[in-house]
Structure formats: structure tokens, C-alpha cells
Structure 1
Amino acid sequence: MKKYAIGTDVGGSHISCALVDLEKGELVEGTNSEGDVDNKADEDTILKGWADVLSKSLKSINKDELAGIGFGMPGPFEYANGIGRFAQVDKYESLNGVDVASKLKVLLGLDDSTPLRFMNDASAFAVGEAWLGSAADAVKNMSITLGTGFGSAFVDAGIPVVEGDSVPEMGCVWHLPYANGIADDSFSTRWFIKRYKEETGLEVSGARPIAEAATTNPKAADIFTQYGNNMGEFLGPWLKKFDAKVLVIGGNVTGAYNLFGPAFEAALKLQGVNTRITLSSLKEDAAIIGSARMLNSDYWNTIKPIIPLM
């Protein structure tokens, strides 16, 4: 087995990557690379931007040492074949129907035999935390990411669970009904912006200004209490159904966990949920590490059948 893989986290406005030593099971220090991306740009601009960032990490080794590149990629995406399906989602629409894997190989000067592998970005985050992060000591765990979207994944023995009676359809919860919409409406930053305007009449750009106001503004503090209580009410039944031993929380909103965490944990306790709650230890590196793990041949043979289901 070739020793190194590049793990990649593709976001709506950024890309970050690093080398991962598959034998040691660790991120290689000094190989991180990142860049901003305009998701409304044309195909060539986006792919060249991604390739430029990947090339910086790739320079740290000889190409014949590279096992391949893994990507934590937002959907909709044809993960099994590396093809974009970004139709009518207001991001990366120029990549809809594009063979991203083949075009990146050309831009990076990689041999056809070098694999580029893709999984859902929330699943990549969860796999990273289950392999080398906050859930490494738990067989069954769930991870969520709180930010511009509400990411989630269930993991059993390091493998994302995407079907079966113990998890929702697709193995994630963002699309499930909640309140007057879906969960993503209630647990992404959009909810904070909307709720703060309802309470105060003021417009803000995200959750951070509300968190900063919470120390002196009771309405701002109460919004975080509402958020935590609602999320506990929503997640509790799924944590129990899956029998998750650990819940890992990541994403930008975790910086305000002191504001919503007590209400969240209290809501879980009321439901008799015994899942241990922990914040992400890998943070931005979680999806990088998780996506790189797909280049371990034994792991890939196990996970390959579920990739098309993501």
C-alpha cells in the first residue's frame, strides 16, 4: 500500500486539504493547504482553483508515493463516479454533470490509475472523528456540524450507516420535518438570523453577533437557549434509536456551545438520553482525515458498497 493520501474538505466557499499518513494514521504536519472558491464561477475556474490548492499539498511527496485523493464533498453529488449533480442548489451549478474526478486528474498531472474517491462531507467529518478524533473510543456514534447548513452522519465501527431501521433515509437528519419546515431550517445559521430579527427587529449576518450580544442582551441569550432546547428535542429520539454512545458536535456554531449546550443537554436528559456529548477535537481537519481514509484499501473495500447510497 502506498503510504500517503491527500484528504480534502470542499465547502461552499472554500477548499482545504492535507497529506495523511495512512500507515501511522495521522495528518502530516506542514502539508495543509487551503483557498477560497467562488461557487458561482465557471467550471474551469472552480476546478483550477481546487487543483491549485491540492498541488501545494502534493508537492510534499513524490507522486509515486500517493495512494490517491479523497474528497469530502457537499451534495448533491454522484459520489461513486465523481460527477457533480449540482442542479438548482445555488452553488457549483457549473459543475452539474461534470466528471470532476477525470478533469482534476488531468489538471494535477496524475496517472489514470491514481484513485480519486468521494463521500458526503458530513460523512467525511464523522469518519475522521470516529477514526482519530473525539469518537475514536466509541463503536456507535453520531456527528453533527452546525453552520450554514446542518450536517449529520451516523457511524458504526468507523463505517457511515446510511440505511436501516435505526437511521433516517440517507443516514442524515437535515431533511427531516421539524417545526414548520425541515431540520436544516431550524439548526443552521439561517434560523439565528431569522429569530434574532423576529425578537429585536435587527438584522445580523450570522450567529456570531448574536453570541457576542448574549452577554448583555437577554433576548440574544434566550435565542441560544431556544436553539439548544429545540435541537435536544429533535435529536434525542434518533440518538436513542441508533444507541449512539457519543455525539460529536462541530462547525462554527460550536464556539457558542456555552450558550446553547446547557439547554441542549437538559433536553436530552429529559428524554433519558445517555449519549456522551463532546465537541470536535479535529475541527477543520476532521473531514480531511475522514476523506483520506478512503484510500486505505481495506477500509475502501468495506465502505465502497455504501458510497452510492450517500
Structure 2
Amino acid sequence: MGELVLSADIGGSHITTVMMDVENRIEVPDTWFRTRLDSTASAQEIIGNWSNAINTSIALKNITPSKICLAMPGPMDYKKGISLIQSQDKYRELYNLNLKDKLGERLNFNPKNIHFSNDAACFLKGELFCGSLSGFSEAIGLTLGTGLGTSHIEKGIAHDSNLWKMPFLDGIAEDYISTRWFTKRFEELTGKSVKDVKEIIDEHKNSDHFKTLFSEFSSNLAKFIYRFAQSKKPLAAVIGGNIANAEAYFLADTRKHLFEMMGYSLPVKKSILGEKSILWGAATSH
């Protein structure tokens, strides 16, 4: 067994932790742990819940990792481990705190061996490391869910592209490529309120407007990828997030639209790692 790293994916409502053997590209069996979080809680409670999740994964095999690597949304000074989230509905209580020091103290772990990385960048890094983009070097990544995550590779390093707020159509990109767009547009077409894309598929797949909805989305997504690709010149793209699970209804059309715009076929692949792409990306970022 090679060097073991504790990897964590911290979202707005959950934390997932697992021990990784990076050298051999394997997940340590029976160390996966996931629990819900209240990201509006106090700093002490949030850091306590993170620590409990990390300790749970470590205790499952009773092996101390050499590093603890955490993927987390920004804004953040990732190198120093200082959260800069201030105006979002999550983790406001962590603003300006040194999370490396706080976690190190709570876990009795050297803060120098605790590392933070951007979650969108980790998604792409993981897919390149052992996922659907294995063998590619220059690529872009999109996570399609409640919000829009974007990432790109520059000189071998994964970066958050931060394009969710890019001017797009009559608003910003996230207005058109997110769960919010699906629920809003579905209600405009049908007059019915739905919670998410899964509900649309499960309960309204045979409705008159289902094809219209996904046809519009595939067009929006292709236009966005085209603009993204124009600036970053990738060799491939990968999509992940909850909306990617509905690929059967939009991905073929997205590729077709993209081919028409670009004049060549840019590989657009669905993540094969799912949530594990972020965990692998975090574990291999330091």
C-alpha cells in the first residue's frame, strides 16, 4: 500500500470523506463516509462536523493519513486555508478564519499537511487522473447542478474558471445552465411547479413540453461550451453534477449543435467517477 491521503468533498449541504491510496490509484475499502451538514451553523459547529467526518473515515481502518486534502467551493485563499465566502447562503460564519489552523487544532494534525483546493478544479483534475478524461492533457470541466461549476487546465494545473456569472444570452450562464433554469422554464411551459430535474424526468417524461425543455437546454449548453472552448482551446470536455445524470435527453443534441458551431467534433464526455472525481482531484492536488 502506498502513501495514504484523507480526501474530503465539502459541499453546501454535505461532506464526503474517504481514504485514498494515490500511488496505486485505489480507494481504501470501507473508509467512505458521507453526512449532511448545516452550512448556516456556527463556525465551531461546522468545523466540529467536518472533523467528526474526517475522524470517522480514519477510524474505520485506524490508519493515520500523511495528508488531509479538502475540496471546497470558493471564494477562498486556498493556499492559506482562509475562507472568503461572505455573501452566499453557506459558510458565512467561516469568513476570514484560518481553517487549516482550526482543523489542525481540532484533529491534532499538523496544519502544514492540511490542504484546500477548489471543488470545480478538483472535479476536472480527478477526471483527468483516473476518470473519463484519462489520456487527455488540455480539457475543460462543467459541473451541472444547483449552480454551474467550470474548470480548465493551464500548464498542467487545474483551475476554477469561475464562468457561472459570465454574461450569457439575456442574463448570466448560471441562469440557463442549472437546476434553476429547468424548474423555471418547466413552470413557464406547463404552469406546474417542480423541485428538480429528476422530478421532471420521473413524473413528466411523457408530457408535451418535455422534448422542448431538453432541446432548449442542449442548445444553451452547446452555446456555452462553444464560448468556453473558444477561450481555452481544450482537447476535450467533461460534464458532471446531478443534471449530467439526464444525459440521455440532451447530450447527443449538445454534441450535434457543438459540431455545427465548431466545424469539428470536440469530445464531450460524461463523468464516469461521479462524486469520486472531486475526491480524487483533491487527493492528487498537493
Where does residue 123 of structure 2 map in the other structure?
125
1:181 aligns with 2:171: yes
* Alignment-derived partner of residue 43 in structure 2: 43
Partner of 2:284: 293
Q: Deviations over 1:279-309 (max 9, x none)?
A: 1111111111110113xxxxx3xxxxxxxxx
Does residue 202 of structure 2 align to residue 201 of structure 1? no
The separation in 2 between residues aligned to 1:260 and 1:7, in whole angstroms, is 32
> Taking CA–CA contacts closer than 8 Å with sequence separation of 6 or more, which of the two structures ends up with the larger relative contact order?
1
Root-mean-square deviation (Å): 1.7
| d(CA) in 2 for partners of 1:251, 1:194 | 19
Mapped partners of 2:111, 2:225: distance in 1: 43
- Maintained 8 Å contact 1:134/1:248: yes
Report the alpha carbon displacement of residue 78 of structure 1 after superposing the two structures with TM.
1.6
Range moving further from structure 2, 209-218 or 3-12: 209-218
8 Å CA contact 2:37, 2:49 repeated in 1: yes
Aligned pair count?
283
> Would the aligned equivalents of 2:74 and 2:118 in 1 still touch at CA under 8 Å?
yes
- 1:21 aligned residue: 21
Tell me which residue corresponds to 2:80.
Answer: 81
Match of 1:142 among 140, 149, 159: 140
SS in 1 for 2:272: coil
Match of 1:277 in 2: 268
Q: Is residue 5 of structure 2 the alignment partner of residue 9 of structure 1?
A: no
Gaps in structure 2 of 5+ consecutive residues: none
Question: Where has structure 1 moved over 4 Å in runs of 4 or more?
Answer: none
Query: What letter corresponds to residue 210 of structure 2 in structure 1?
Result: A
CA deviation after TM superposition for structure 1 residue 182, in Å = 0.9
Paired residues of 1:69 and 1:116 also in contact (CA < 8 A): yes
Contact 2:14 2:37 in 1 (8 A): yes
Tell me if the contact between 2:120 and 2:151 (Cα under 8 Å) persists in the aligned partners. Answer: yes
Alignment check: 8 A CA contact 2:103 2:111 kept: no
TM-score, structure 2 length as denominator? 0.93
User: Partners in 2 of 1:244 and 1:44 — Cα distance?
Assistant: 42
Residue 252 of structure 2 corresponds to residue 262 of structure 1: yes
Instruction: Tell me if structure 2 keeps the 8 A contact 1:17–1:54.
Output: yes
Superposed counterparts of 1:56-75, under 5 Å = 56-59=56-59, 60-63=61-64, 66-75=65-74
Q: Deviations over 1:128-157 (max 9, x none)?
A: 111111111111111111101111111257
Q: Is the 8 A contact 1:140 1:245 kept in 2?
A: yes
Indicate yes or no: 2:228 matched with 1:227. Answer: no
Indicate whether 1:31 and 2:31 are aligned: yes
Q: Alignment partner of 1:9: what SS?
A: strand
Q: In structure 2, how many angstroms separate the alpha carbons of the residues matched to 1:156 and 1:226?
A: 31
Report the identity percentage.
29
Do the aligned partners of 1:139 and 1:157 also contact (CA within 8 Å) in 2? no
Distance, in Å, in 2 between the alignment partners of 1:245 and 1:85 is 33
